[in-house]
Structure 1
Amino acid sequence: MSETYRPEHAPADHPPVMRPKIGILVANLGTPEGTDYWSMRRYLNEFLSDRRVVDYPAWKWQPILKLFVLTRRPFSSGKNYRSIWNTEADESPMMTITKRQVAALRAAAAERYGDAVMVDFCMRYGKPSTQDVVERMVAEGCTKIVFVPLYPQYAGATWATANDQFFRALMTIKRQPAVRIAPEYFDHPSYIDALAQSVERVYAGLDRRPDVLVASFHGMPKRYLMEGDPYHCQCAKTVRLLRERLGWGKADIDITFQSVFGPEEWLKPYTVEHVTALARAGKRNIAIMSPAFSADCVETLEEVNGEIRHAFMAAGGETFTYIPCLNDEAAHIAALMEVISENLRGWIDV
């Protein structure tokens, strides 16, 4: 199909226009461009200045952020990123994995829809920015866009801020495309099945079955739950559905929360404290997974498989099995394509 055409009934001198397409835009959190101080500072400043992430009044938070957090945290965060950095591609694992996910989604979409759709990705923080990608998709003929945040569970600090940025980008477009926002997919049968397959695959290769599987989700202040954020409830339902799909008992999977930041009480139990308690209670062989992350990143590779592993082993643990995120596994790509296809209905049906 030609990329440009002359509209029917248009005069002969009418300039060619881009042939209409449907855009599929997936979005993830983002990543620093490098591990040096200034790259980390730029990324952390954008991330921690987002009112969806830290909702303290600007007059109170910004001085703390600029004078204290951003003078020290870039060093420690840079060290954490360096421990997992993809040095060959000079990018973070999240970026590497997201590119692979998008390549797989493009292939799957092309097989199903031909050249009627365009698949791309953006990051809420850092590059490629939502603004740049939306502008490019519109320029290349996307008159309709399905926006898919790659967060299975809804949270204001992830899902909502991704949507906010997408809407901000649309505000600058003179001829806005029609848009749809794919809903969170925490209980989608294909997503649950993909999680279960990842557990079964890892367990099948172990000499000894772990005493318990810990499902560690990214945390958030408990106050957000009390203010109506459904994240905690959706995490709990994900774990229940996973347990049912695996055919396990309630004692076989624990739910915990990681990445505590700031002085407030966060969702509990905290992962690092929980795994330490497990080891001291005699459960010295555990497996752990992070169902809230669609791609392995610093929170899973460095925090879970690094810091939390070390805490567990230091407390007397014997084996710590990390189950990777779904990343670009075939079952995950198939699940995402189901979510996308469901949200394309009425626009393109195959």
Structure 2
Amino acid sequence: MSALFSTATLRDLTLRNRTVVAPMCQYSAKDGMANDWHLVHLGRFAIGGFGLVIVEATGVTAEGRISYGDLGLWKDEQIAPLARIVNFLHNHDTAAGIQLAHAGRKASTPVSWHKGVPHTEAEKAAIGYEHWTPVAPSAVAHNPNDPDFQTPTALDAAGIANIIDAFVAAAVRAEKAGFDTVEIHAAHGYLLNQFLSPLANKRTDEYGGSRENRMRLLLEVTKAVRAVWPAEKPLLVRLSVSDWHADGWQTEDSVVLARELKALGVDAIDCSSGGFDGASINPVVNYQVPLAKAVRDGAAIATMAVGLLGDIEGAEAILTNGEADFICLARGALDDPNWAVHANHELGATDYTLWPKQTDRVSSRDRSLGLRAFSKP
């Protein structure tokens, strides 16, 4: 069996393989509620053989959403629609994760395909339009030259405490919805990443200044979430391992942070990067894999590699070379929701057990055409 299709265990959760669908915002919710789009969008990856599917960045507060179209878990009414998705994933042997997030100063941004602000109340209601002033570590806009980003309100001590409480409450709701794992979103220039990075964090209190102070909020959130998240279930954190900016957060900072997160009970680090204005990024194939390896080696913790990883043999090599423990696809999974079952065959599988029973006709088609397991030498 290939490394990619070997099982993996995090605490009491065993994944059928090491393929993961990374969180991808769909900007298709109203009032944070999951709907049929989310069910079909996420469900097709279970049909396609992935081991773990992680639901998109889900706001722990209404004002923590990137846009008015984001999912949320700030109230109990949002549990049942998500549980419907979890049940579908479980019925097809795929583990279900959810990314808990707060966008900070990058909140209340437009949905790109809804041009401008709706003019009438009926138009606003049709798309669930809302607008609000975001919060952040400091009153500094993500990009002062971009009208999509507002100048946020700097969080005070009470606001920070409320953020921690919101992550805890959302984790409790995620457990009620049946999720197997939660991922704390501390990447891509959103709130927890804003506290980490000197590019956004200009505070002079215990949450700003030194690296230790800038890590404080994420560590407090993690400790509080781990306390309410079931001990048998794994906890993940997504980091921007590097800001790709000379004055920002660096890979060595992430190694130190990952050690602290591991000590608090985090089981794997989802290794992404970037998220701040002025970053110098060259997005080529496997460009973030060295970040996953650096964290894996430096903190002795499991890592997930993500970012332009669709090459099947290349994904297998990442695992066999010890550069990461899981392969995450986002846009690659959108392009081919059956990537996992296709990769399984390409890496030598001769059976069709990863395909759901309802897709058994694929094997008879392959037999007729001499494809995959039925190909001639």
| Pair in the same fold by TM > 0.5 | no
**Structure 2 length normalisation: TM-score?**
0.30
Q: Which has the higher helix share?
A: 1
**Structure 1 length normalisation: TM-score?**
0.31
Higher-Rg structure is 1
Higher relative contact order (CA 8 A, sep 6+): 1
